[in-house]
């Protein structure tokens, strides 16, 4: 069952704002994930198995070696996965 209430709605809205924010998609994705992790830890949103899978996929796309810059394919993958997470958040 999806989380309800003002805090859950606010967490979803904050995620979507970061997803659509101007700036580098990789950095926006990291900030959006940090916000979701906070919402999960606080019990504001509930993890779903699909969300866990998507977040794991996103973290792989965002991995980088020390000093390496991400762009191109990582940014494209981040945008794609963020849109999928946004849709699944309605079930969280």
Mean pLDDT of 11-31: 89
Mean pLDDT of 17-33: 87
Mean pLDDT of 43-55: 93
Q: Global pTM?
A: 0.80
pLDDT (0 to 100) of residue 17: 94
Report DSSP state, residue 92: -
Q: In sequence order, which residues have a C-beta less than 8 Å from that of residue 90 and are 6 or more positions away?
A: 2, 12
Residue 57 CB burial class (10 angstroms; 0-12, 13-18, ≥19): middle
pLDDT (0 to 100) of residue 71: 54
Query: Above pLDDT 70, what percent of the chain?
Result: 88
Band (pLDDT 50/70/90 cuts) for residue 36 is very high
């Amino acid at each position: 069952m999806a989380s309800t209430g003002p805090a859950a709605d606010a967490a979803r809205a904050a995620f979507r704002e970061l997803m659509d924010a101007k700036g580098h998609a990789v950095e926006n994705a990291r900030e959006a994930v940090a916000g979701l992790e906070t919402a999960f830890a606080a019990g504001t949103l509930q993890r779903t198995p699909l969300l866990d899978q998507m977040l794991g996929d996103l973290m792989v796309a965002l991995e980088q070696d020390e000093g390496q810059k991400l762009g191109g394919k990582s940014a494209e993958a981040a945008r794609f996965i963020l849109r999928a997470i946004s849709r699944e958040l309605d079930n969280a």
